[in-house]
Amino acid sequence: MELESILDIACTRAGLEAASKKRALEQASELLAEHYCELDAGQLLEALVGRERLGSTAVGEGVALPHCRFAACTKPVAALLRLAEPVDFEASDRRPVDLIFVLVVPAEANDLHLQILATAATALNDASYRHALREADTDADLYAAAIRSPEVRRAAGHP
């Protein structure tokens, strides 16, 4: 699955101000609910926070992949945030997080959920990809860096 099929520029934010993990998840929930009318921001926030209670979705190197399956979701959707200032996400490497890729999938989409997470994790594991995302000054630049990166294309199975 290609990233541009689940990530819309309207759900991409560069330089977002968020003082905490919960506030970042709240803003991501609001972004997704504004763009996808079937999603309720409050319920989505509860689902994402509930997932975080099971264990941090921070994967290290300043990256987090919050995710959940959500009954009201009709197709996989994502939000990408680059925070203005990193926040504590309880990462195993103790590094605060400034890149957050939020994934929401339909409740029954178990395999697809794991496939998309693996693709995102593979791409975000690449230092040059993370650097390109961190250098993006605008929402449009962040979106372009996210979907045009060779690392994302390779992770999605494209040359």
CB-based contact 46:26 (threshold 8 Å): no
**Would you state the structure tokens that stand for residue 82, as one six-digit string?**
């680059």
**Would you state the structure tokens that stand for residue 98, as one six-digit string?**
């400034």
Phi-psi region of 100 (alpha: psi -120 to 50; beta: other; left: phi over 0): beta
**Would you state the structure tokens that stand for residue 155, as one six-digit string?**
């992770």
> Distance between CA atoms of 120 and 155, rounded to whole angstroms?
8
Strands 77-87 and 67-70: unpaired
* Residue of 67, 113, 131, 158 with catalytic role: 67
Is 67 assigned a catalytic role? yes
CB-based contact 123:149 (threshold 8 Å): yes
Catalytic residues: 67
